[in-house]
Structure 1
Amino acid sequence: MNKKRSLLLSIILLSFIMESFSRDIIPQPLEMTEKEGVFSFDKRINIYANEANMPEANYLTKLLQNEFHITAIPAKSAKTKGLVLLVDSSLKDHLGAEGYTLSIDGNGVRIEGATSAGVFYGIQSLRQLLVKQGELWQVKFVDIKDNPRFSWRSYMLDEGRYFKGKETVKKLLDEMALLKMNVFHWHLTEDQGWRLAIEKYPELTTIGSKRDSTQIGNWESKVYDGKRHEGYYTKEDVKEIVSYATERHIKVVPEIEMPGHSSAAIAAYPWLGVTKEPIKVPTSFGVKYDVFDVTDPKVITFLQDVLNEVIQLFPSDVVHIGGDEVKYKQWLENKKVQAYMKKHKLPSPADLQIAFTNDISNYLEKKQKRMMGWNDIMGAELHAFNKDAAPVTGRLAPSTIVHFWKGELDMVKDAVSKGYDVVNSYHVFTYLDYDYKSIPLKKAYDFDPIPDGLEPKYHKKILGLGCQMWGEWTPTVASVYRMTFPRIAAYAEVGWTAKENKNFDRFNQALKAFYTRWGDEHILYTKE
């Protein structure tokens, strides 16, 4: 073989080897510069972390052992060759609260952040960059500077319809962490089931967490499975899950529905309802007739008691109260409710809901919590079943976070112009219960939480986005996974990656590594 041919083959081989180390990260970083060279992880590697970062060092140590069979040995100096994790608060102006830098060279891996959250996200990028070559794990030399586009990057799991259990929740939290998602929105109460133990009101779970049968098929179906469904989380379960999420820098935001979607609670305690008559936990889906009697002081006391226990369980600074799809018919038909509205000069049932919602907001504020609710709480007419209700005149409490899901996008612009912070979860782009024909992967990827035409001065009022796994037609864990994966990765990139850095072809290529991971983790996914 002549020298020129040998040199050409060497160059081709080197290019092939280096290409095998080139990995795209999901979500795509802000800045990423690859360099010549690779760093090899031995079976044992040194790891150093300053005191503020010890939990992340412990997390990475376990991760290396469990995923890569590498043993990390604590080192005493940041000058060690291996892994260095540093929190430096002076970097906040440069990187923000969740940003990080990741540098890999011949000395090893160095991750820095203004907070431990930033370092944690740097670890998630490192996980994706590692490539196995023979018996060793290696990573290409690289410099990354990264921070997220939005501060609210949420995945919602609805367990009111079907209880899934804490092991499923933990698995979802693990996948969220890898994708740098930071809010787990936990929908725990519904018409069809109450899933959270409340010490003061035990029948919420002894009665409200169970139903005799369940509608199956679709919204028009008259077929029921004839099977009992039940399940709820104890306080110990919740504490375990919250701790697990906190280790992964994920905030758990509980949703306790009020005043609608409350049939399971009314089934447990009939005096919570407007009619005060007994009902059963519904077996069918859809918006139900029964709602809380928000004019009854005993009902308000109940809700405050529930919120007190919720606040003790969840350290989140935000509590979601739902507030969507409240059928006003019961309020309109009830003389006592109508008298209350007249006495308090509330001209419409929407005004009654706003007054109630503001009282809950004020109560939560006294507990140093911020209220969040679906955009129905602003009083706009969103549903045909309330089309005859009088227009709203009241105004929502200013500290409310408006969770937009339905209506014209001008409603988002209206909300931010009135001073409200908004999380944009527009259903036609973000509802994971919609099939892949309605929301294909590219449509999910192309979603922008900032509506077209929104004035730049309001952009910071858009906190971010959520993707919602509603549970009516996903009775099994496998069905939840199939609808969630891979679209959750698209939403993760929507929430993190700078708009100018997004590229669907690059993203789709990077998904290949995730398909392998999900297969290894026994997570069913849909590949379009």
Structure 2
Amino acid sequence: MRRLEIVYFICLLFCFKSISLLGQNIIPHPNKLINKGGFLDLGKKVNIVQREASEEASLLKGYLLEDFNIVSQEKKKGQFKSITLKVEKNKENELGEEGYLLDVNDNGIVISAAARAGVFYGVQTLRQLIKRNDNSLTISIPRVYVEDRPRFKWRAFMLDEGRYFKGGKVVKKMLDEMALLKMNTFHWHLTEDQGWRIEIKKYPKLTEIGSKRDSTQIGSWPTGWKSNEFDGKPHSGYYTQEEIKDIIKYASARHITIIPEIEMPGHSTAAIAAYPWLGTDRTPQNVPVAFGGPMAVQKVLNVTDPKVRSFLHDVLDEVMALFPSKIIHIGGDEVKYDVWRNSSKVMSYMEEQGFPSPAALQVWFTNSISNYLASKGRRMMGWNEIMGKKLDAGADEKDHLVEDNLAPNTVVHVWKGDLNLAVQAAENGYDIVNSYYAHTYFDYDYKTIPLKKVYDFNPVPKGLDSKYHNKILGMGCQMWSEWVPDEEILGRQVFPRIAAAAEVGWTDSSSKNYEVFTKGLPYFFQRWDRLGITYYNPKKMTSNAN
């Protein structure tokens, strides 16, 4: 009899754990969720009580009205159910800056956190918990207790607007979806070979010339780079500094930091088209219309010229004046070393300075930019080519002879190559953001990177000793836009894969469950239908939009 009681007790524990994990389908899934049973009827009106969370209370009022037609008022006491938002700084050791507690009981809802960001993320969980009953006359929320905090502090989505300008309305829509998914970093790729998208007042031609091209190569992934078709339509667009300030303010209210990316020394043809003296041959150049094939043009900055380096300092000064982020991304990927090798001035400089390879020149240049940013209180970030390592099997070893080390305060953004290089970088003290392309590149089709492959990504590379795990800041997912000319295609490529990426960044591996994750998607499908956002439905194998 005693043995039966023990077995029964173990079964109860297993069932309780299953209920606590599977009872509510929230994305990203909370790391601790207890379903207490029953529901709280919210009614059509609620009181909002806040302590040091006035901005979050204001956003909550908007969410309740827009999503559920619930009218709310800020009152400490009232005849309606209350939602209490409060910052309790003494909970920082327990919850960190982004964790939160959420308790739904018979008296109302309480969200508490050590900082405003945690309160905000508790509100995002609340939005997914609220249910409209079948008759649509009453609105209820399950009685649950949630204790939650993120696995990683860097949870990013990158939008490439260098290839195709999308505009502030689209960016704000993306920021809204990121916020609901508890993503906290918007990586904004603003300059490319095919377009310069940020106003720099000291160099107006960057946008007068660099933001425009006469036509655009047409194609789709993965064959588009070989396409000989062009649309024949001019494409242009850029953000004024005032528009950028507005978007930064919008993101900040949603606890999203914007990391600007200004590409250097490669992917800089649009800048060189505006100011030909930036390039190695100083010859006039149109903004490229092709992304690949024989018509593709990829110029490289002449970093041996002090005037070019002064130009970059000037650009970065204006970028830093706009963006409060502590980190500035400088790209650094896919530099065409042949351009430097074909320049007698660059080769002479390399010989004078004793640089054994183009990669050594790039590391020297990158460190100079890192030092400049550090002098302004910022940190440099770049794709992992900035380390000077050979990432492609077919690359020439001679191009990657490097004696100097990358500046120690650099954030290395891993996207390709042997992941053992990422392990070595972490062991050598570098902070890492892991965006390994095979799991995080949303320009790839769903056959190549299906939803589950995104979900299964682990940003901590295999073989990394646990004592270095804190060097992995987190992960990012990327929307490269060569073949994404409009918002409809953008939506289909991003949604719902961004939801899987969000759970990778937030939820502990032990709390992840792909089947549970997919059960949370209908909430988002209904939301995206209502908002007219195109998305890809893995079950229907089709795209959907209003």
Q: TM-score range by the shorter chain?
A: over 0.9
Alpha-carbon distance, 1:414 to partner: 1.1
* 3-state SS, counterpart of residue 526 of structure 1: strand
- 1:119-171 CA distances to partner (integer Å, 9 max, x unpaired)? 00000000000000131211011100000000000000000000001100000
Alignment of structure 1 residues 274-285 onto 2, 5 Å: 274-285=280-291
Which amino acid letter does the alignment assign opposite residue 515 of structure 1? F
For residue 398 of structure 1, what is the amino acid of its counterpart?
Answer: P
1:60-459, aligned counterparts within 5 Å? 60-76=60-76, 81-133=81-133, 134=135, 135-217=137-219, 218-286=224-292, 288-383=297-392, 384=394, 388-459=398-469
Report if aligned partners of 1:449, 1:465 keep a CA contact under 8 Å in 2: yes
Question: How far apart, in 2, do the equivalents of 1:344 and 1:288 lie?
Answer: 29
Q: Which amino acid aligns with 2:202?
A: K
Give 2:5's aligned residue: none
Q: State how far apart, in whole Å, the 2-side matches of 1:387 and 1:415 are.
A: 20
Judge conservation of contact 2:47–2:76 (CA < 8 Å) in 1: no
Q: Which residue of 1 aligns with 2:3?
A: none
Cα distance change on mapping 1:79 and 1:92 into 2, 3 Å: farther
Q: Select between 275-284 and 67-76 the one with higher mean Cα deviation.
A: 67-76
2:501 to 472, 486, 491: 491
Q: Give the TM-score normalised by structure 1.
A: 0.94
Match of 1:28 in 2: 29
**Shift, 1:382, TM fit:** 2.4
What SS is found at the alignment partner of 2:39?
Answer: strand
Between 167-176 and 389-398, the greater mean CA deviation after superposition:
389-398
Shift of 1:343: 2.2
User: Do 2:95 and 2:148's aligned partners in 1 also have CA atoms closer than 8 Å?
Assistant: yes
Amino acid at match of 2:446: Y
Counterpart code for 1:221: S
| C-alpha distance 237-435 of structure 1, shift in aligned 2 (>3 A) | same
Decide whether the 8 Å contact of 1:37 with 1:105 is kept in 2: no
1:223 alignment partner, SS class: coil
- Assess if the C-alpha contact under 8 Å between 1:288 and 1:327 holds in 2: no
Amino acid of the structure 1 residue aligned with 2:286: K
| Residue pair 1:49, 1:78 contacting (<8 A) in 2 also | no
Match of 2:13 in 1: none
Instruction: Give secondary structure in 1 for the equivalent of 2:347.
Output: helix
Q: Give SS of 2:389's match.
A: coil
Q: CA deviation at 1:386?
A: 5.2
Deviations 1:283-304 (A, max 9, x none): 1114744100001111111100
Q: Quote the residue 1:11 is aligned against.
A: none
Q: Is the 8 A contact 2:47 2:78 kept in 1?
A: no
| Alignment deviations for residues 393-424 of structure 1 (CA, whole Å, 9 cap, x no partner) | 22100000000001011011011011100000
Pair 1:275–1:29, CA change in 2 (3 A): same
Provide the identity percentage: 54
8 Å contact 2:47–2:77 — kept in the other structure? no
Are 1:482 and 2:492 matched, yes or no? yes
Which has the higher mean CA deviation after the structures are superposed, 273-282 or 36-45? Answer: 36-45
* TM-score, with length taken from structure 2: 0.91
> Is the CA contact 2:68–2:132 (under 8 Å) kept in the aligned structure 1?
no
Indicate if the aligned counterparts of 2:45 and 2:80 stay in contact, CA closer than 8 A.
Answer: no
Q: Determine helix, strand or coil for the equivalent of 2:53.
A: helix
Alignment check: 8 A CA contact 1:354 1:379 kept: yes
2: CA distance, partners of 1:365 / 1:38: 53
Structure 1 alignment gaps of length 5 or more: 1-17
**Alignment CA distance shift 1:329-1:78 (3 Å):** farther
- Aligned-residue Cα RMSD (Å) equals 1.7
Separation in structure 2 between the aligned mates of residue 288 and residue 340 of structure 1, nearest angstrom: 24
Within 2, Cα distance between the matches of 1:238 and 1:143?
Answer: 39
Distance 1:84 1:256, change over 3 A: same
Query: Partner letter of residue 413 of structure 1?
Result: V
- Name the CA shift for 1:518/1:386 in 2 (closer, same or farther; >3 Å): farther
| Cα distance per residue 1:240-264 (max 9 Å; x no partner) | 1111100100000000000000000
Q: Distance in 1 between matches of 2:320 and 2:425?
A: 27
Residue ranges of structure 2 left out of the alignment (5+ in a row): 1-18, 539-546
Deviation at 1:22, TM superposition (A): 5.0
2:255 aligns to what SS in structure 1? coil
The number of aligned residues is: 509
Contact 1:159/1:189 (<8 A) preserved? yes
1:76 positional shift: 3.3
1:501 maps to 2:507? no
Match of 2:525 in 1: 515
Contact 1:28/1:493 (8 A) holds in 2: yes
* Shift, 1:44, TM fit: 1.9
State the distance in 1 between where 2:155 and 2:78 align.
32
- Structure 1 distance, partners of 2:311, 2:300, is 14
Measured in 1, the distance between the counterparts of 2:246 and 2:299 equals 33
